[in-house]
Amino acid sequence: MGRTPGIFAWLRIGAADCMGGGMKGRVVFVTGTDTGVGKTVLTCVLARRLRQRGLAVAALKPVCSGGRTDARLLRAATGAELGLDDVNPWHFRPAVAPLLAARQIGLRLRRTDVLARIVPLRQRFDYVLVEGAGGLLSPLGEDFDSRDLIVGLDAWPVVVCPDRLGAINQVLLVIEALPGRFAARAQVVLMSRGRASVVSRGNRQILAERLGAARVHMVPRLARGLITGRRRLAPDLGRTLDRLVGL
């Protein structure tokens, strides 16, 4: 991907990308410490909560490889406001990194292509939720990863991590990798793996000390019915989701 730009170059890129987009709706970018950490689950319940609050919401996974289950869940969570190919414009069958999967079919996917599909949605929706693929720095195309999309969209980052041993280091590495103002407003979600333990209590405590208690959120293990909408969100979970996006 070439030389990594400094923070001021990143901020200039972000401002240029968002110019002309109207900047109406807020973009929330859900990234994570790795693949399979709960990004889709969180994005689905967050979308359902925003709709419950009467807000217009889109949920996207612009680039993915392997199955398309995540994109279908996101589309259902928003009431099918967008078609599947709008929710997930670039889908590659091989279950490998999207960059490699795209190259296998001779496609050179660029950051500007992805931003062009997302930015106009800010005019139609109060919130645009964007889920990355893999972790923050997993390459999505020839010249970009989730960090580049966060900056290009002037998005509010949400970092998802399983609440397990090693979470503190993993979360802080992701926060450290974000440019200054994006790191400062990033929210952290620890996804529960079951009962509270010494490890889980310690994770929240240390991250709250380092980042501020208001930026660290605990989400319990979620039943499938909450993800699909067959069960209502508990009030406590609803309030947590509200705080996550500044409501």
pLDDT digits (tens, 9 = 90+) for 91-119: 998 888 888 888 988 889 999 999 999 99
- Whether residue 1 is contained in a domain is answered as no
User: Residue 2 falls within a domain, yes or no?
Assistant: no
Catalytic positions:
61
Does residue 198 fall inside a structural domain?
A: yes
Banded pLDDT at 23 (limits 50, 70, 90): low
Whether 120 is covered by a domain: the verdict is yes
Q: Is residue 205 part of a domain?
A: yes
Six token digits for residue 218 = 């605990």
Query: Does 66 fall in a domain?
Result: yes
Burial class of residue 123, CB neighbours in 10 A (0-12, 13-18, 19+):
exposed
Number of domains in the chain: 1
In a domain, 23, yes or no: yes
**CATH number of the domain within which 138 lies:** 3.40.50.300
Task: Write down the pLDDT at residue 11.
Answer: 45
Domain presence at residue 83? yes
Taking the C-alpha atoms of residue 134 and residue 200, their distance in angstroms, rounded to an integer, is: 23
Q: Is the pLDDT of residue 43 over 90?
A: yes
Is it the case that residue 14 has pLDDT exceeding 80? no
Q: Note down the domain range covering 210.
A: 7-244
